[in-house]
Structure 1
Amino acid sequence: MAPITSGSGIPNGIHKPLTWTPSSWRDTPAKQEVIYEDKSRLTSTIKTLNEVPPIVSPYEIENLKSQLKDCAEGNAFLLQGGDCAELFDYCQMDTIESKVKLVLQMSLILIYGGRKKVVRVLRMAGQYAKPRSSPTETVNGVSMQSFRGDILNSFEADPKARELDPGRLLEAYFHSAATLNYTRSALSSGIADMHAPLDWSLGHPLRPKLVGTFSTMRTKDVHLHELSASPPTHTGAYIRKKSHSVAPLAVPELYYNTSSHFLWIGDRTRQLDHAHVEYFRGIANPIGVKVGPTMPANDIVPLLDILNPNCEVGKVVLITRYGCAKIAAHLPTHIKAIQESRHNNTVVWQCDPMHGNGRNAVTSSGKTIKTRSFDDVLSELQQALQIHRQHGSYLGGMHLEMTGDNVTECIGGAENLTEEDLSLRYTTFCDPRLNEKQALELAFLVAGFYRET
C-alpha cells in the first residue's frame, strides 16, 4: 500500500512530511517515550504481535465513527468511563461485568433524561499504560523507575520489577483480547437489554430512590429500545505501540489502529510537531484530544487542521479537562476558536471533570494519597453544560474515571465520604475513581439538565 499523502490545512510553521507511513512518527520528537534495553526481546515480541489477529476490526471502528458523528451533530451523547489504569488482574468475569453494568445503568438514565441515544465507550481492554510526570520515584528510600502501567513494568516497589519489559506488550495483547471477548459474549447473551435494568446489580445495593427511578424508566419510557445505541466499545489505546499496530485493512488507502476502536492524545503529548500528533494524523480511527488550561486558543485549530484536514464530522473528540476553578476562563475561548474555523460543528465536545480536579488528602493513618472531590467534579460538569448552552454549542459527552466496585477513593457524594473514609476501600493503582453511586449521581445531573430543555 502506498503511503498517505498529506492534504492541505497544515498550519504555517509546522513542517510535516509530504507523506505519512506507520513509522514516520519515529523521525519526530516524542514525549513519554518508551526505551527498552532488551532490544532482541523487543524485536521478538513485535514479530509475534505482527502475526496475531487484530483485536478490533475496521468495520467496528467505522461503526463507532458513524455514532460519534451523531454526537457531534447533537443527536446522541457519548458516555465514556472506566479505570484510570487497568491491571492485568482486572481480567476477571466479575470485574468486567461490573464495569459494563455500571455503564448500562448510566446510559439508561441519560437516555431517559436526554431522549437521545447514548454511545457507550469503556476505558477497558487495554488501558494498561499511563503517562507520568516523572520517570523515577523514591519508595522507602530506594530510587526506581515510576510505575507506568502493567504494559510496561510492575507496580511492585522493586528496582528490578520496575525495569521496562517488552514481553509485557504480549501479555497486554492477550489480556485485552480476553477482556473484549468476554464483553462481547456477555452482550450477546442479553446483558444489555434496556428493559431489564434491575438485572444490572453490581453486588452492593442501590439506594431505594435509584431503584424506584429505574423502575419508573422501565415502565413509563416506551422509547428506550429505540434510543439505545450499540453495545459498549472499548478504548484500549497503546496496546501495540509500534508500527505493527496499524493494519491497512478493509478500505484501500486507509490505515486503522486495530488494537482499539478509539484512541486519544493526552494533554502532555499534543505538541503539533511531535510523535503522537504525527502518528495520529495518519490513522482512520476516531481520535480524542485532551484539552487542558495550558492549551492556547490559537493552537486548537492548527491541531485539528493536522488531525482532521478533511473536516470529517465526528472524527475528533475534544476531551476538555480544565478543573472547576479554570473552566470558565478557558472553555469559552476554545469554543469560539472552533466556531470561527472550518471545523465548526465537526468535533464532539466531551467534558472530563476528573483530571483537572485532583488533590491530596491525608488519611486517618497519616498517609498522603490522591483524591478528588465529588463537588469539584460536579461543578466542572455543571459549568460545562451551562457554558456550551450559553455559546450555542452542544456538550456531546462526558469522560469519567469510575468503577463498578464500591470503592472509597473520591470524597463527597450522596454517601458524604470524607478523607477519613478513603482508607476503607482505596484500591486504585493510579488516579482515584468514582464509585457506582457517585457515577450514577452525575448521570442524573446530566439527564436532568437535558430533561429540562
Structure 2
Amino acid sequence: MTAHSRDEILAFGTATSEGAATTAGLDHWRSLPISQAPQWADQEDYKAAVAELSQVPPLVFAGEVDVLRTRLAEAARGEAFVLQGGDCAETFAGSTANRISARVKTILQMAAVLTYGASVPVVKMGRIAGQFAKPRSSDTETRDGVTLPSFRGEIVNGYEFTEEARRHDARRMVQAYHTSSSTLNLVRAFTQGGFADLRSVHAWNQGFLANPAYAKYEEMAAEIDRAVRFMGAAGVDFEAMRRTEFYSAHEALLLDYERALTREDSRTGNPYATSAHFLWIGERTRQVDGAHVDFLSRVRNPIGVKLGPSTKVDDVLALAEKIDPTREPGRLTFITRMGAGVIRDVLPDIVSGVKDAGLEPVWVTDPMHGNTVTAKNGYKTRRFEDVMDEVAGFFDVHRELGTHPGGMHVELTGDDVAECLGGANLVDESAFEEHYESLCDPRLNHEQSLEMAFLVTEALTHPDRRA
C-alpha cells in the first residue's frame, strides 16, 4: 500500500474557504438544459437546505483531491489500477458501522488480491458517502392504477410507494450531508487507524464460509504473512502498512447539492466540489452542452464520464475538450459500460479515436450496468459470467490497441446478499426472496467480489489469458 509523503500529508490538511465558492461561471449551469433534476415540493425548504449546505464544513479537502489526481495520472500511464466499488444506492438506514466496515473490508480485500497477485498499486475508491441519488428512465411509476413520482434515491425522496414518501423533499439533502459526514469519519478511522493494516489480511476473512474464492484468499494471505515475517526479520518499518489511501466517489447527479458544497481552495482560489474526491457524470446526463457537464468542467476534482454502447467518438472528444481542455494528467476518466455482447465491437473505435487524438484518460470498465436482465421471478439481476465477460472484453480491446486498462467500477456490497446470479458459490433465483436487498440495481456479494478480484489479477498478470 502507498504511504503518504510528508508533502502529501500536509496537503491533506489544506483548508478551504468558509462558505460556498463564488468563482465566476460556477452558476452558468442554471441557464442550460438539465435532465434528472428533482422538482422540489417546498421552495422554502429548498432555500433553507441550500443555505445550510453552503455553510457546513467540507466533506473532503482540496489537498486530498489533488493527491487522488496524481494517483489517477499513474493509472492512466499503466502504473496503477483503479478499484472503485460500493452500493448501487446508499440508504440512510444502511449507513451503519457494520455495513460501512463490510464494504470497506471487501474493497480492501479485493485490493490486497490485486496488489499482491499482480504487483500493481491499487487506487481504492468507494461508491460511498454520497451515492444517494439515482437517475430514472421515467419521472413517474404506476402500480395498480396509482401513479407517483419515481424513486430518485434517498437524497430526493423515499422508496415507499406513498404520496408522502415520493414527495421531492429538499431537507433530505441536509440529511445526506450528515450521513456522508459520519460515513467518512468511519472510513477514515478504518483506513488510517490500523484496520487496513496488511498484516490483518487473515482477520478480514473471518466469519465467512468456505468456498473456492475464500480458500484461494486464505492461501494468498498465508503468502503475505510469510513475506511480512521475512521483512520484519530484515528490519523493515511497518508503520506505512497501518494506513492506506481510500477515496470517496459518487455520481454528481444532484447539482443543487454539489453546487452548495463547492468551496474555494484557500491556497489557490480554485473551486473544489467538497462532497467527494471523485465525481462522475452518468450516461443520461453527459450532454456536452448540458448543465452537468458544464458545472463539473469548472471544478478541480478528477471527473469520470460513463460511456454506453451508443457513444460516438465525436461525443467522447467533445466531452474531453469541455472537461479537460488542457490535457491535465489524472483529470479525466472514461468509464465504459457497454454490455458483454457488444463491448468488443463498440469499444475499439472509441479507444482508437481517443488515442489518435493524443488523449490519455484513465480507462475504467463498469461491467455491471450493461448486463442487467430480468429474472424469471421478476427480479432485476445480472449474471456473474456476463459481468466477467465484459471485463475480459475490456482487457482484450486495450491489449490489442496498446492502451492501458486502468481500472474497474463495480456495484458491490460486503453483505451476504443474493442479487447477481452465478459465481463459484452459485447464486440462483431461489435465493432472491430472502436475500435480495438492493433498492435499485443488483450488486455483487462479498464472495463474488473476491472471486472477481482473483480473475482480474489473472488478466493483469497474464494478458494472453481471458479474465
TM-score of the superposition, structure 1-length normalised?
Answer: 0.91
Q: Number of matched residues?
A: 429
Aligned mate of 1:186, from 186, 190, 195? 190
Q: Counterparts of 1:6-405 in structure 2 under 5 Å?
A: 21-201=25-205, 203-207=207-211, 208-220=215-227, 230-238=244-252, 241=257, 243-343=259-359, 346-363=360-377, 368-405=378-415
The answer on whether the counterparts of 1:76 and 1:119 sit within 8 Å (CA) in structure 2 is: yes
Check the 8 A contact 1:202/1:404 in 2, yes or no.
no
Q: Counterparts of 2:307 and 2:75 in 1: how far apart (Å)?
A: 18
Contact 2:364/2:409, CA 8 A, preserved across alignment:
yes
Report if the CA contact (8 A) 1:196-1:218 is conserved.
Answer: no
Aligned partners of 2:210 and 2:276: how far apart in 1?
A: 32
Q: Which runs of no fewer than 5 residues in structure 2 stay unpaired?
A: 1-22
SS at match of 2:160: coil
Q: Tell me the C-alpha RMSD between the 2 structures.
A: 2.0
Tell me the equivalent position of 1:6: none
**Does the residue aligned with 1:89 lie in a helix, a strand or coil?**
coil
Where 1:356 maps in the other structure, the secondary structure is helix
Question: Does the 8 Å CA contact 1:117/1:227 hold for their aligned counterparts?
Answer: no
Q: 1:99 to 1:295 in 2, by over 3 A?
A: same
TM-score of the aligned structures, taking structure 2 as reference length: 0.88
Shift in Å, 1:253: 4.3
User: Is the counterpart of residue 451 in structure 1 residue 461 in structure 2?
Assistant: yes
Distance 1:209 1:161 in 2: 45
Q: Provide the secondary structure at the position in 2 that maps to 1:33.
A: coil
Question: 1:79·1:120 contact (CA, 8 Å) conserved in 2?
Answer: yes
Residues 353 and 184 of structure 1: CA distance in aligned 2, closer, same or farther (over 3 Å): same
Q: Which whole-Å deviations, capped at 9, do the CAs of 1:118-167 have from their partners, x for residues lacking one?
A: 00000011110000001110134321111100000001110221010000
Query: What is the Cα deviation at residue 206 of structure 1?
Result: 4.6
Q: Is the CA contact (8 Å cut-off) linking 1:206 and 1:437 kept in structure 2?
A: no
Cα deviations by residue, 1:274-295 (Å, 9 ceiling, x for unpaired):
1011111101000000011111
One-letter code aligned to 2:371: N
One-letter amino acid matched to 1:22: L
Cα deviation for residue 244 of structure 1 reads: 2.2
2:379 match: secondary structure:
strand
Task: Render the CA deviation track for 1:367-413: whole Å, top value 9, x for unaligned.
Answer: x1100000000100011111111110110100000000011000010
Deviations, residues 259-312 of structure 1 (Å, cap 9, x unaligned):
110000001111111101111110100000001111112211111011000000
For 2:361, the aligned partner's letter is V
The one-character-per-residue Cα deviations of 1:311-368 (angstroms, maximum 9, x if unpaired) are: 001111100000000101111011101111131xx210000000000000123xxxx1
SS of equivalent residue, structure 2 residue 202: helix
> For the residues of structure 2 that align with 1:261 and 1:341, how far apart are their CA atoms?
27
CA distance in 2, matches of 1:429, 1:203: 26
Deviations 1:87-129 (A, max 9, x none): 0012211001001110010001001222111000000111100
> How far does the alpha carbon of each residue in 1:6-48 deviate from its partner, in whole angstroms, 9 at most, with x for none?
xxxxxxxxxxxxx952211001001112221311111111111
Moved more, 316-325 or 34-43: 34-43
Letter in 2 for 1:136: T
Alpha-carbon distance in structure 1 between the residues aligned to 2:114 and 2:71: 16
1:317 is paired with a residue whose SS is: strand
| Residue identity (%) | 38
Compared CA separation, residues 330 and 30, structure 1 to 2 (3 A) = same
Does the Cα contact within 8 Å between 1:120 and 1:229 map onto a contact in 2? no
Q: Distance in 1 between matches of 2:263 and 2:183?
A: 21
- Following the alignment from structure 2 to structure 1, what is the Cα–Cα distance between the partners of residues 306 and 265? 28
Please state whether the residue corresponding to 1:444 is helix, strand or coil. helix
